[in-house]
């Protein structure tokens, strides 16, 4: 598969089949993704992989906590800036609206929206879960390195016919996640990621999000 094809076919998968992914495939993915670059070659990524009965047990723990606390334990970092400015605010709004529209959930249907949001905590049915953390002493540059590692995993997944769902939503359950997978205190949870085979028939997976035109984010001088 060409890199361009992997980029073009990657999307945030929000409905997975329960087909298992062999551990060997996951190890190959992670082994290859470690070629991602990082400033000073710090390789500041840590990944915790959960599947099988352990994942079922973990989801059960979360499912028991969710009804009383749909917004979890708070977060250790701000997922978005406190007051999101334009054009980012409008983009975020549109992406949410488009996602709910793809499954026929209206703006007024708060319960429907909450139900869909809660599916994050089922990993949208993915048979494999990953959690990414980073040492607390790391700065913006290293967070960017971690992002490149995660993107490498997401693109490689396409090569294996797999799909992914990066999930910052898991940051709101950082204590429970940290305890379950054993994240040491010196590390901070960044996000989760569901991995598995896409349910092609699920309407939510038909969502193809917008991107701004080139002129909005690129400028050229001398070329």
Ligand X SMILES: Cc1cc2nc3c(=O)[nH]c(=O)nc-3n(C[C@H](O)[C@H](O)[C@H](O)COP(=O)(O)O)c2cc1C
- Strand, helix or coil for residue 133: strand
Q: Measuring CA to CA, which residue among 200, 203, 56, 57 is closest to residue 116?
A: 203
CA distance 154 to 7: 9
Helices 88-102 and 110-118 cross at an angle (nearest 10°) of 90
Q: Measuring CA to CA, which residue among 92, 80, 79, 52 is closest to residue 210?
A: 92
- Strand, helix or coil for residue 195: strand
* Closest to ligand X by CB, 127 or 166: 166
Where do contacts with ligand X occur on this chain (CB under 6 A)? 11-12, 14, 95, 120, 166-169, 191, 209
Query: Which residue matches tokens 């990657």?
Result: 10
Beta-strand (E) ranges in 40-176?
46-51, 128-135, 163-167
67 is written with which tokens? 């009804």
User: Which single residue brings its beta carbon nearest to ligand X?
Assistant: 169
């Amino acid at each position: 598969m060409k890199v361009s094809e992997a980029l073009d076919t990657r999307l945030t998968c929000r409905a997975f089949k329960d087909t298992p992914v062999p551990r060997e495939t996951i190890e190959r993915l992670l082994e290859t993704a470690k070629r991602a670059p990082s400033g000073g070659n710090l390789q500041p990524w840590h990944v915790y992989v959960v599947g099988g009965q352990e994942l079922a047990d973990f989801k059960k723990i979360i499912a028991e906590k969710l009804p009383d606390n749909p917004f979890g334990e708070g977060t250790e970092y701000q997922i978005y800036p406190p007051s999101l400015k334009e054009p980012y605010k409008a983009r975020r709004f549109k992406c949410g609206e488009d996602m709910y529209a793809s499954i026929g959930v209206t703006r007024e249907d708060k319960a429907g929206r909450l139900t869909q949001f809660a599916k994050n905590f089922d990993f949208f049915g993915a048979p494999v879960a990953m959690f990414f953390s980073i040492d607390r002493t790391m700065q913006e540059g290293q967070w960017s390195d971690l992002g490149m590692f995660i993107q490498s995993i997401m693109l490689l997944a396409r090569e294996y016919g797999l799909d992914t769902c990066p999930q910052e939503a898991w940051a709101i359950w950082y204590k429970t996640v940290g305890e379950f997978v054993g994240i040491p205190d010196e590390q901070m949870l960044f996000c989760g990621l569901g991995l598995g085979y896409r349910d092609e028939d699920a309407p939510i997976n038909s969502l193809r999000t917008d991107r701004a035109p080139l002129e909005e984010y690129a400028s050229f001088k001398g070329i």
